[in-house]
Structure 1
Amino acid sequence: MENNGGKMAVVDRRIEALGNLRVLPDEVICEIISSLSPPDVARLSCVSSVMYIFCNEEPLWMSLCLKEGSALLEYKGSWKKTTLQRDEAIHGSEAPHRKPLHFDGFYSLFLYKRLYRCHTSLGGFSNDNGNVERKANISVEDFRNNYDGKKPVMLAGLADMWPARKKWTLDQLMLDYGDTTFRMSQRSPRKIKMRFKDYVSYMTLQHDEDPLYIFDDKFGEVAPTLLKDYTVPHLFQEDFFDVLNADQRPPFRWLIIGPERSGASWHVDPALTSAWNTLLCGRKRWALYPPGRVPLGVTVHVNEEDGDVNIETPSSLQWWLEFYPLLPSEDKPIECTQLPGETIYVPSGWWHCVLNLEPTVAVTQNFVNTTNFEYVCLDMAPGHRHKGVCRAGFLALGDGKLEDADEFTSWARSCSSARDGPRKEEEIRTNHACHEGASSNAANCCDAGNHELPYDINFLSKFLDEERDHYNSMWSSSNCIGQREMREWLWRLWIGRPGLRDLIWKGACLSINAGKWLECVGQVCRYHNLPSPKDDEKLPVGTGSNPVYLIEENVIKIYVEGGLESSLYCLGTELEFYNLLQQVKSPLEEHVPDVLASGFISFDNGSYTVVPWDGKGVPDVVADYNPMNKNCEGHGSSFGLWSKNLFNYKNALCPAEITNSSGSKSIWPYIVTKRCKGKIFAELRDSLSWENALDLASFLGEQLRNLYILPLPQLDNLNIANFRKELDVAPSTNLMETDSLDSGDAAVWEIFLQSLNIRKKDIVSHLRKWGDPIPGNLIEKVVEYLPDDMTKLLSVFKGETCSWIHSDIMDDNIYLEPQSTIFFHDQADTLSGNGIMKNGEAQMWKPSHILDFSDLSIGDPILDVIPIHLDIFRGDTRLLKQLLSRSKLPLLKKEPRNNTTEEVMKFQRASYRAMCYCILHEENVLGAIFGLWDELRSGNSWEEVEEKVWGILNV
């Protein structure tokens, strides 16, 4: 304060208190502070009075707590107190608790708005202008004809008979599930959970602008009795995702509980699924826009590389308070207020935003039915433009081109905007410049954002990227299921719902380009005088990375993954391997399918050509198209194991852009093998008896042993110097220390480990991209856990001979034949395990064949143990122990303890090597680990994960 003529004037503190930082807007200062750790924020608060104000704001401490917080959260009345008490519990230091200080002379509109939102009451905030229809006692026919896939509708009476109508109140849920832990809304990169009684306490005490709310897709697992309290309404019974197993199916149902001011900000439901949402208590305000109408204040980010979609949006409350008033009446969303007992239906692709006007309890499910199936398949297809158009309409067309839709071209050209970001993202947003600080009638300055998108599958499919294919393109991390699960889903629908095959075929053509691959297979069949594919053989089978077809007694695989050059090495190595089996008369030959034909199919200027190839030499069909492998002679087969090893290493150093076409020409290798009798393990997993499972483990161990004792192809003129010359790498210091500079095996081990070094460089960002269920705290510790140089493991391999590695023995690459049928008479309890029993019969199965050797490599045998243990054995150590006893793998390096450093001893642990390989694996192996061992998600160290998953390897 200053005395000005007897009056006390308030002095603006900002200039002196912030110094040079005063030029920054308050929101920027807050964003910078939120990136600091809690101790640093506490220190910064001592710098000046204004910094004290910034550093003591509750929304700041909320973000700090959720960012740094533990998995189980207990709210202590304020976010600052919650954070400090948590840190005290973790670090054992007690921070002094002082009364808050108060300062005058500082005003911030940004902080005031946040404070206002934190204390806004929504008692009179409902609005229902009647533009969402309300229906009661609606029939399935009426729903499908008038609403399904067309427009939202509020439905009454669907939950009248649910036990949840009476039982799902906060008081009753508190009594029944007070100690049950539920997942919170995704406000943090870490999964935040709270005990229900702690959450109810938080609801009562909090004053947050965007409160946490329970949004739990696993509530049926943690509280299974809740599933008995409701049933899926008869209008939504059809759900195509129900053919998947529980571990394959994407999240589809959520328990939603939240206080006043909480809610879901603007979004389109994942994979363009539809949804129903039933409210059991409280009131919700809904706002909706049709597909393509991006709400004011929302930005859609679409990654050009993998099609990943991210939406940047204000909170629900902020949008209604700050953006909604700017809209003229004609641009306002469709709105309604949902009351207890009502169910709202949200069609595929519709934007929606929800705000809880009071404490609410609800349940919601997403589903795929006949109406939206093709849209879901379209959204799974590789590429980015069609995903942007489905969500942002013509704003997504940065080039302003609308083929076959001339009437919209002018809007797209004048109003679309797209620019490259650091991730090659297209930013699709409403024009903020038109609205910020402007009058409400300025909202019409960009009609492209307001024009209704023709939400028609034939129109939307025009924006697919014809150059990208499901099998050789990056898969978007925002897709609700992975590529393997996508192929499995389509195949199960194809077999299980034959009456819908026309629709399923259309979806498969959109998502995996099934029509193109069927044409290729048909050409191969005609060339080799094989039967043409029948109607039920039109779709690729299995979950592998290349299209595979079962046509009568034959199997045809087209090599697609990785592009032409990579496919050539896969086929060349596989043919080289089969020839070797015959030459040495390996017992493994009896358990590998017979090769009937192999070659290339090319597409050039509208016509197909099939050319046979036996794996020897450089095929003429590709010599002129893309000269490659010039220095392969003397490495065995031109496209065999050694050349493939060099190619993979070079590609790891400098990844080549995946391509399989040049102008109008495309070439794909293929192989035809004899079809095995019986069934693949994936189909039998849940029906095998324990004895059969043990037999399978023994079989795999024996065949791995047969694989590892096979001789490697001859290295005629190859030596260490040439090896390094081709790779353009200097000898490793660690290799020199092994005194094995002239050893071919040492050179191979070096290449193998140098490849791991390359993957290690970006491992943190790689794991963060995979995200859940990999714990964030372990991602931060991963560099510390891995060796600083993977070639330090060479001491483990000193004197060891490298061997063939299959590297892809998974549940769809093993065949079993029916062995016998055992009859039981009232003796069901005598059957051990979980063998199938029907009318007193148990079917027994015998493992017969291992499939798919296209991923053959050389290296550490532990690599083969990883997919077997995680995918086939599902982490059962008894089965792994049986496999290890039969394979006789030399996993441990025995050396006297007194001659070995602690670091080398760590490297010699087979479990440590296995864990390193899992972390650095090209596939999301860690996702499988933390999916199988849920308790490891709260683990504190990689050593803990290593011991749990791989400790048996050290025995």
Structure 2
Amino acid sequence: MENSGDNNGSGVAIKDRRPEALGDLKVLPDELICYILENLTPRDVGRLACVSSVMYIFCNEEPLWMSLCVRKASGLLQYKGSWKKTTLQLEDPPIEYASRRPLHFDGFYSPFLYRRFYRCNTSLDAFSFDNQVLKARKVCTLEEFKHACNETDVVLLSGLADTWPARTTWTVDQLSMKYGDTTFKISQKGVKNISMKFNDYVSYMKVQRDEDPLYIFDAKFGEAAPGLLKDYSVPHLFQEDLFAVLDRDQRPSYQWFIVGPERSGASWHVDPALTSAWNTLLSGRKRWALYPPGRVPLGVTVHVNDEDGDVNIESPSSLQWWLDFYPLLADDDKPIECTQHPGETIFVPSGWWHCVLNLETTIAVTQNFVDSNNFEFVCLDMAPGYRHKGICRAGLLALDEGSHDDKSLSYPDMTRKEKRVRINSSRESQNCEEAINDVSKSYNLWKQGFSYDISFLEKFLDEERDHYNFPWSSGNCIGQREMREWLYKLWIGKPEMRELVWKGACLAVNAGKWLERLEEIRNFHDLPPLKPEERLPVGTGSNPVYLMADCAVKIFVEDGLESSLYGLGTELEFYSLLSKANSRLKSHIPEILASGILYLENGLYKVVSWGGKGVPDVIGKCNLISQNPREDSFPFGIWSKKQFEFKRVGKSVCKNTSDGCKGIWPYVITKRCKGKIFAQLRDTLSWEDMLNLASFLGEQLRNLHLLPYPPFDDLTLSSFKQKMELKNGRMENFLSESNIPVEWEVFIRTLNEKKKDVASRLTNWGDPIPGTLIEKVDEYIPDDFAKFLDVYKDENGQNKVCKPCSWIHSDIMDDNVHMVQCSASSYSSGNAADSGPRDTGSMNGFDGSGEEKSWRPTHILDFSDLSIGDPIYDLIPIHLDVFRGDSRLLKQLLEGYKLPLLRRKLQPLSGDDKFARLSYHTMCYCILHEENVLGAIFGMWKGLRMAKSWEEVELKVWGELNNYNGFL
């Protein structure tokens, strides 16, 4: 490219230096070169700056160094006056930045770099807008607000914050004086775990020249600065919040403290879970742009994951959109707009696209909420599948091209082959005419028939969806467990809303279909009719569970039919052995009243009883068992389940043989326990109650781990010894020449298989697991988990291991421990585990007699996740979920447990004594756990996110185990 014109006054055109300076890279557009540089290390970028004059220009651009910095930074950040200097200070060791006079070169012109430079340095003081559609209105009553929403949907309100202290105290100067050393979370594209002290952030705001500046957008500001919560109150128009029934640590983030300089803002998005929001501005001016649901703004690209329905959005920065895309819009295509001033509150309804640009330094507070108006939309957003998620955000553009004609507007049988919904390219080189055509297409499709109405949107749900089997979208604001608990709490706690809650539950968890299946089971066993409060599954667990007057019904559906059969089969085998051994544990497990299989045949439901032995005909047709089992055996018992778990790791035989056997559901009916689950009581229990609970769990783990497990019979051993095809195509004996006892073989091999992709799995889980630790995970865990066993020969020459092998529950969490109320005196007068329950009819621990009441544990629930292996595994859910990481409670449990966790002290390997630490074994199990245990660990111990090694995490979380005299 040559510059046309006399650029140096000599009348001679300046030669374009780009081709020579870039060499073979000259064929790449400037935008792509910048993208490549953003993915290099700071040191490599510094080296490239020395290659040529043009590369020097590319490599010294501040937006590049900002990108490098926010990608590398973690934890507390302090801006050093430039992004290059700040980034170099983050290197290990830090690189001193020598400030030199920048070099200037003629003969190079880049429209891409120039536009970005302009956006970084432009001022918005005189920024003008074509219109001001929304005007602030004074609304006093809820009826007036509803009337205003009927007129414009989006409403700009005045007067709601007039009495707030924040109205006068939330200024930069006053907040600096009071919260200058307080740390707040930073939000910006590409930012993960960055925070800044408020005074440091103010210093940054004053000197920054960024296109998309760092933005305080902190959802946990109430923890860092509790005083801020006292400075405002939720406006009376937005008091209803149905997420409030969840505990604070269970509900999704919903309130944010927002501070940002000129040019900062929020790019185009739809609020999470289709919630509604209110946003009150206390200082500065904000410019808002909004589009109705389903109408995707120009420049925005929507990606819908076809596995879990997660929706990802690519959008230009707020400033770039207003400068580069807004001018392309025809009048009919322009968004609803307004400028928000201090003291004004904007209401953003469910599903609305919105974009915010700060015209000057602003301070605001915002909250998202679920109320009666958007409840069904939130439930819809949580539902499994992907198509409805794309429709809610991208409207009819989420459908295949050519499927928008009038004949297709019946919609239920529409399918979408293209899962990646590309609405429009945001490349700056996009042709303007092309952009205008895309806008018109988007607008016409939106007008053609899209309706943000729940009866319309629910037609796009996958009819075959199964809330307990479909992948859960990682973009959902709460987990599956929290979702089910939320619905159940609303169902029980707000009976006046049951009609609405039922509609939401049918959308989210297919409640209507599960109720239909429950009724068939109830009729077969002649159970009493359901009461209204019993129609919804309880909100915990991975399978639908219904609590009736005297019994509980669990329908096994998790992970498909084959997994369900192993869950029920193992549980039935366990109960059989429990009875034969006459274990004390038997009195602390709910009695099984009935079990069987419900199946759909020729459109009719049928039920067959099944006690775990033999294979019912309906299951035999599915070819899940390769050999004919004996009628008195448990074909879906524990050893078959262990083989299945190994195969399911995905590295050998991973085909789901039950794919062709749909419409079959195993179930079990157990006697209902009195009292309440621990999850409902956690916040009301005294410290003494918690210590007694820890002792109880220690005693029951002892009883569980002493219970003998089934021996290998000839059929099982033959199955274990058969050759299995491995992923690499080799064939080898499952029990090759290993000296590992047969009962440990599958446990160890499964761990070794999980180890192979552990780094990628942790990366997919992402925040809050520190990336620096993920990089070190392979060197931390053993190369072979057989080293945990320390195999040796006894006096008879038999192979022995240092670990005891036992039944393990695997899932003792706060919803699987049952407690009843009793008087404190009766609790302390005898054995808590053996004393009978006493229903005092009291509330909150008191019955009015003046005598304090306590809660004592009585039962452990849900044995469908049973396994056999290292008993240490059972400590993981108890310590993290029940004890919430309290080492004092873990110590109390171990005092009641009294069994060895090692039969003898492991000998250090090659001078490395980590194998002798029980904490090391447990930490490795956490890393390889099928659930995101590490997310819980780094969520509870936030300081560990800055840990330099896994050993630091291990000793902080599990160090108490090393004090346990767990050796014979």
Whether 2:527 is the aligned partner of 1:530: answer: yes
854, 862, 873: which one pairs with 2:872?
A: 862
Q: Deviations over 1:493-542 (max 9, x none)?
A: 11111100100010011001111111111111110011121111011114
Q: Deviations over 1:684-741 (max 9, x none)?
A: 11112222211111111111111111111131215867524254469999998xx963
Three-state SS of the structure 2 residue aligned to 1:653 is coil
Cα shift at 1:85: 2.5
Whether 2:515 is the aligned partner of 1:518: answer: yes
Three-state SS of the structure 1 residue aligned to 2:214 is coil
**Partner in structure 1 of residue 882 of structure 2:** 872
CA distance in 1, matches of 2:705, 2:732: 26
Which amino acid in structure 2 is aligned with residue 54 of structure 1? F
Cα shift at 1:480: 0.2
**Partner in structure 2 of residue 783 of structure 1:** 778
78, 81, 87: which one pairs with 1:77?
A: 81
CA distance in 1, matches of 2:494, 2:590: 30
Aligned partners of 2:724 and 2:732 also within 8 Å: no
Whether 2:843 is the aligned partner of 1:803: answer: no
Which amino acid in structure 2 is aligned with residue 915 of structure 1? M
Cα shift at 1:932: 1.4
Q: Deviations over 1:248-267 (max 9, x none)?
A: 01000001100000000000
659, 683, 686: which one pairs with 1:689?
A: 686
Aligned partners of 1:430 and 1:449 also within 8 Å: no
Q: Deviations over 1:926-947 (max 9, x none)?
A: 1111121121122222111100
Map of 1:611-760 to 2, 5 A cutoff?
611-624=608-621, 626-631=622-627, 633=629, 636-654=633-651, 656=654, 662=660, 666-717=663-714, 722-728=719-725, 741=739, 746-760=741-755
Q: Deviations over 1:233-255 (max 9, x none)?
A: 00000000000111101000001
Map of 1:298-317 to 2, 5 A cutoff?
298-317=300-319
Change (3 A) 1:806 1:362: same
847, 852, 861: which one pairs with 1:851?
A: 861
Aligned partners of 2:287 and 2:358 also within 8 Å: yes
Aligned partners of 2:351 and 2:393 also within 8 Å: yes
Change (3 A) 1:184 1:151: same
Change (3 A) 1:99 1:285: same
**Partner in structure 2 of residue 285 of structure 1:** 287
Change (3 A) 1:446 1:252: closer
CA distance in 1, matches of 2:483, 2:554: 18
Whether 2:821 is the aligned partner of 1:818: answer: yes
Which amino acid in structure 2 is aligned with residue 751 of structure 1? V
Change (3 A) 1:659 1:112: farther
Map of 1:532-551 to 2, 5 A cutoff?
532-551=529-548
Cα shift at 1:450: 4.1
The runs of 5 or more residues in structure 1 that have no matched partner are: 824-833
Aligned partners of 2:723 and 2:732 also within 8 Å: no
Which amino acid in structure 1 is aligned with residue 682 of structure 2? R
Three-state SS of the structure 2 residue aligned to 1:264 is strand
Aligned partners of 1:712 and 1:803 also within 8 Å: yes
24, 28, 51: which one pairs with 2:28?
A: 24
Aligned partners of 1:681 and 1:814 also within 8 Å: yes
Which amino acid in structure 2 is aligned with residue 930 of structure 1? F
Three-state SS of the structure 1 residue aligned to 2:279 is strand
Cα shift at 1:473: 1.1
**Partner in structure 2 of residue 194 of structure 1:** 196
Whether 2:947 is the aligned partner of 1:952: answer: no
Whether 2:599 is the aligned partner of 1:602: answer: yes
Cα shift at 1:630: 1.3
Which stretch shows the higher mean deviation, 929-938 or 504-513?
Answer: 929-938
Map of 1:166-245 to 2, 5 A cutoff?
166-188=168-190, 190-245=192-247
872, 875, 883: which one pairs with 2:893?
A: 883
Which stretch shows the higher mean deviation, 462-471 or 449-458?
Answer: 449-458
Which amino acid in structure 2 is aligned with residue 846 of structure 1? R
CA distance in 2, matches of 1:522, 1:129: 59
Cα shift at 1:748: 3.4
Whether 2:454 is the aligned partner of 1:444: answer: no
The runs of 5 or more residues in structure 2 that have no matched partner are: 792-799, 827-842, 964-968
105, 125, 133: which one pairs with 1:103?
A: 105
Which amino acid in structure 1 is aligned with residue 627 of structure 2? N
CA distance in 2, matches of 1:732, 1:883: 43
Three-state SS of the structure 1 residue aligned to 2:901 is coil
CA distance in 2, matches of 1:291, 1:446: 12
Aligned partners of 1:159 and 1:342 also within 8 Å: yes
Map of 1:890-929 to 2, 5 A cutoff?
890-892=900-902, 894-895=904-905, 900-903=909-912, 905-929=913-937
**Partner in structure 2 of residue 826 of structure 1:** none
Aligned partners of 1:602 and 1:667 also within 8 Å: yes
CA distance in 2, matches of 1:567, 1:530: 23
Q: Deviations over 1:609-634 (max 9, x none)?
A: 1111111111112222x111213737
Aligned partners of 1:472 and 1:658 also within 8 Å: no
Aligned partners of 1:148 and 1:371 also within 8 Å: no
CA distance in 1, matches of 2:919, 2:733: 25
**Partner in structure 1 of residue 158 of structure 2:** 156
Cα shift at 1:93: 5.0
- What TM-score, normalized by structure 1, do the two folds share? 0.92
CA distance in 1, matches of 2:734, 2:725: 17
Cα shift at 1:883: 1.1
Aligned partners of 1:891 and 1:953 also within 8 Å: no
CA distance in 2, matches of 1:618, 1:793: 37
Aligned partners of 2:802 and 2:904 also within 8 Å: no
Aligned partners of 1:816 and 1:846 also within 8 Å: yes
CA distance in 2, matches of 1:68, 1:238: 41
Which amino acid in structure 1 is aligned with residue 774 of structure 2? I
Three-state SS of the structure 2 residue aligned to 1:266 is strand
CA distance in 2, matches of 1:784, 1:175: 47
CA distance in 1, matches of 2:344, 2:9: 65
Map of 1:9-158 to 2, 5 A cutoff?
9-87=13-91, 90-127=92-129, 129-147=131-149, 151-158=153-160
CA distance in 1, matches of 2:923, 2:659: 38
**Partner in structure 2 of residue 257 of structure 1:** 259
CA distance in 1, matches of 2:127, 2:149: 28
Change (3 A) 1:901 1:29: same
Cα shift at 1:658: 6.9
Aligned partners of 2:560 and 2:658 also within 8 Å: yes
RMSD between superposed Cα atoms in Å? 2.9
Which stretch shows the higher mean deviation, 693-702 or 592-601?
Answer: 693-702
Aligned partners of 1:417 and 1:428 also within 8 Å: no
Which amino acid in structure 2 is aligned with residue 944 of structure 1? E
Which amino acid in structure 2 is aligned with residue 438 of structure 1? E
CA distance in 2, matches of 1:809, 1:96: 58
Aligned partners of 1:564 and 1:659 also within 8 Å: no
CA distance in 2, matches of 1:181, 1:271: 28
Which amino acid in structure 1 is aligned with residue 169 of structure 2? K
Change (3 A) 1:259 1:557: same
Cα shift at 1:136: 0.3
Whether 2:595 is the aligned partner of 1:586: answer: no
Which amino acid in structure 2 is aligned with residue 467 of structure 1? E
Change (3 A) 1:482 1:102: same
Which amino acid in structure 2 is aligned with residue 811 of structure 1? D
**Partner in structure 1 of residue 840 of structure 2:** none
CA distance in 2, matches of 1:95, 1:720: 67
Change (3 A) 1:430 1:21: closer
CA distance in 1, matches of 2:436, 2:856: 74
Which amino acid in structure 1 is aligned with residue 16 of structure 2? D
- What TM-score, normalized by structure 2, do the two folds share? 0.91
Cα shift at 1:750: 3.1
Three-state SS of the structure 1 residue aligned to 2:892 is helix
Change (3 A) 1:178 1:482: same
Change (3 A) 1:720 1:671: closer
